[in-house]
Amino acid sequence: MKLVVTGAAGMLGHRVVAAARERGHDAVASDLPELDLTDASAVGRFIACEAPDAIVHCAAYTDVDGAEAHEQLARRVNADATANVGAAAAATGSFVVAVSTDYVFAGDADRPYVESAVPEPRTAYGRTKLLGERALAASGAGHAIARTAWLFGAGGPNFVDTMLRLAGERDEVRVVDDQVGCPTWTGFLAPALLELAERRAGGIHHLAGAGSCSWRDLAVETFRVAGADCDVIAVSSDEFVRPAPRPAWSVLGSERDDSIVLPPWQDHVAAYLKEQG
């Protein structure tokens, strides 16, 4: 299968390219500055030239706090660019797997959000990602929307790496324990995205580490697996006020009969740290 991967220089995108090639696919990596996804004509020409069987759309504006001040830019990247990818894919018959986020939900539930849960984003980032979902659905392209959460992996800044760096600098860290979600390693997510492309499994899919934990729990597990001697002090979100409010509840679940179930979140931490050596 021939694939185009957008955002291929990013933390997730480069992992999708590598995983695709490991599976024997012809993966074409695309990113700035070679291709500006907000340029509809350029996207149309590129996809028409490559004529891929599928597109794994990882490119996104992911600065959650920055989006609060630059929502129009975030909208261009997360919504308009996705509309361009969808239109180009519809013209070539390419199937699109687009990566989305738990931030499309309000974050105030008490049970896992499943695919049919009603989105109600509370941040600019969440609003622009939801607009991207809707633009892709309206494009006419065959597509899957893969929502994930609490992503970490090699090749980009992430919570696990930050905790390990801090553990090397101090004896204790203060981490919020009133936000709960599903930590997800790119090494497990990338093959799942490719499976959606291979199966042309349309619709919305929730793909995240199984189970749930707080950020404090994730820090504790990271230090345990890494053998780091650092205490984790539980604090509330009020101690870390950010421009964009973080959802208190980011737990994703699935109601699909054909759902792809990722391993427990603890396995994501262990696999990532083992790979990092």
What is the band of 277 on the pLDDT scale with cuts at 50, 70, 90? confident
pLDDT in tens, 37-59: 999 999 999 999 999 999 999 99
Share of the chain above pLDDT 90, in %: 99
How far does Cα 267 stand from its chain's mean position? 18
The pTM score is 0.97
Supply 143's token pair: 């597509």
Report the pLDDT averaged over residues 239-259: 95
Terminal alpha carbon distance of the chain: 32
In CATH, which of 3.40.50.720, 3.40.50.300, 3.30.360.10, 3.90.1150.10 is domain 2-158+183-210+252-259? 3.40.50.720
pLDDT in tens, 67-95: 999 999 999 999 999 999 999 999 999 99
Collapsing DSSP states into helix, strand and coil, what is residue 250?
strand
pLDDT in tens, 124-141: 999 999 999 999 999 999
- d(CA 37, CA 6) in angstroms, rounded, equals 9
Report the pLDDT averaged over residues 145-160: 97
What is the band of 98 on the pLDDT scale with cuts at 50, 70, 90? very high
Name the average pLDDT for the chain.
Answer: 97
**pLDDT value at residue 85:** 98
CA nearest to 138, candidates 84, 94, 198? 84
Domain ranges of the chain: 2-158+183-210+252-259
**pLDDT value at residue 44:** 98
Rg value, the chain, Cα: 18
Report the pLDDT averaged over residues 164-185: 97
CA nearest to 1, candidates 60, 50, 58? 50
Supply 150's token pair: 């609490």
CA nearest to 277, candidates 210, 215, 225, 218? 225
Which residues are annotated as catalytic? 125
- d(CA 62, CA 186) in angstroms, rounded, equals 15
Q: Residue 181: is its pLDDT beyond 90? A: yes
